Amino acid sequence: MTRGPLSADDIRRLFGELASELDAAGQRAEIFLVGGAAIALCFDARRATRDLDAVFAATDSVRRAAANVAYREGLDPDWLNDAVKGFLPGPDPNAVRYFEAPGLLVDVASAEYLLAMKLFSSRWRPTRRTSHCCTAKSATTLLKKVLPSLNEVIRDDR
């Protein structure tokens, strides 16, 4: 059983379990991972997280498979959730394919995308959690790059 915060190793193992569940059910799903789990996997292996924030398709299949994994592993039922879906600024052209197995593909958000999410949500402040994402010379420039639709809204004060 997995209790407490999930490490990068836990997350990788859980992706394997989830892939097995999906494949056994004849399903195939894709996950786009953001938040603390993305940081733990790709940028700071010492980090742990309580849940995985993501968007996914086939939604119902992923939810069923995740519920089965949660039951077996003693996880919170929402260990994998899509509550973040309303906060994503759009597609990430620099996402990294992190995991691939029969039944499951997992892409992880790029560092620039993760930082842009923090900036866009106005929750960003320079901390140890965000310093490894990138050292943007200008938050405005980064937001415009990651979120081209904001180019008409955000104006540089040059």
What pLDDT, in 10s, does the model give residues 65-101? 999 999 999 999 999 999 998 888 788 999 999 999 9
Q: To the nearest whole number, what is the mean pLDDT of the chain?
A: 82
Q: Residue ranges per domain, the chain?
A: 8-111, 114-152
Q: Indicate whether 132 pLDDT > 60.
A: no
Cβ-count burial of 156 within 10 angstroms (0-12 exposed, 13-18 middle, 19+ buried)? exposed
Which stretch of 37-51, 109-123, 138-152 has the lowest confidence by average pLDDT? 138-152
Residue 56: strand, helix, or coil: strand
